[in-house]
Amino acid sequence: MDRKLKLVWLGILGILLAVAAVKFLLPVKSPDDMELISGNREIVVYITGAVDNPGLYRLPLDSRLDDVLKLAVLSTNADREVLNPAQKLKDGQKIVVPYIVEQSEQESNPAALSNGGQAKQSAVKSGNPPGKVNINSAGLAELDTIPGIGPALAQRIIDYREQNGLFSSPEEIQNVSGIGPKTYEKMADYITVGY
């Protein structure tokens, strides 16, 4: 009985030594190796709108909007004021670069400016349908004109847009904290993501 017990213990000790030897001999990934592995990762973004080269772009993981704008080349009629070149990009993100509407187009439709109020005025400026506010480019005061939106919610929309990029569809505004299906239903006819 004593001999069987010794063999069992020797067997267990042998297994433990074998496991320890394997662990010791196998290469361990150093922090430098881990950095190289994560450095090889890429994201893919889609850019469209007022750019000369729209399409899909593969970029390093820590890319900014400026990186893809350099590759896609902004067209001369791109509205640069609504873009945040420092914005971090996410994998699978869609970027719509809005167009600028020429001043002459605004002057050719003075009726829209005189009797339409702020929302129609901004629609003429940005090329949006009359009465619709572009949630990708509207400022605080303009967002506040949308039914169901107050100053605090307007600020949350701007904050969301700066952190997550431009909205790709009007329905996406429901991702903003405080905008649920009922609130969206009130504003659906008044918003656009047009460019």
Domain range spanning residue 128?
103-192
- Percent of residues, the chain, with pLDDT higher than 70: 75
Same domain for 134 and 81: no
Spans of the chain below 50 pLDDT: 103-129
Torsions phi, psi of 104, nearest 5? -65, -30
Total structural domains in the chain?
A: 2
Asked whether residue 156 falls in the same domain as residue 120, the answer is yes
Q: Which of 48, 80, 97 corresponds to the end of one domain?
A: 97
Residues sharing a CB contact under 8 Å with residue 76, sequence separation 6 or more, in sequence order: none
* Whole-Å CA distances, 20 to 13, 27, 104: 10, 13, 78
pLDDT at 59: 93
For residue 46, give the CATH number of its domain: 3.10.20
Residues 53 and 109 in one domain: no
**The predicted structure's pLDDT at residue 1:** 64
CATH code: domain of residue 122: 1.10.150.320
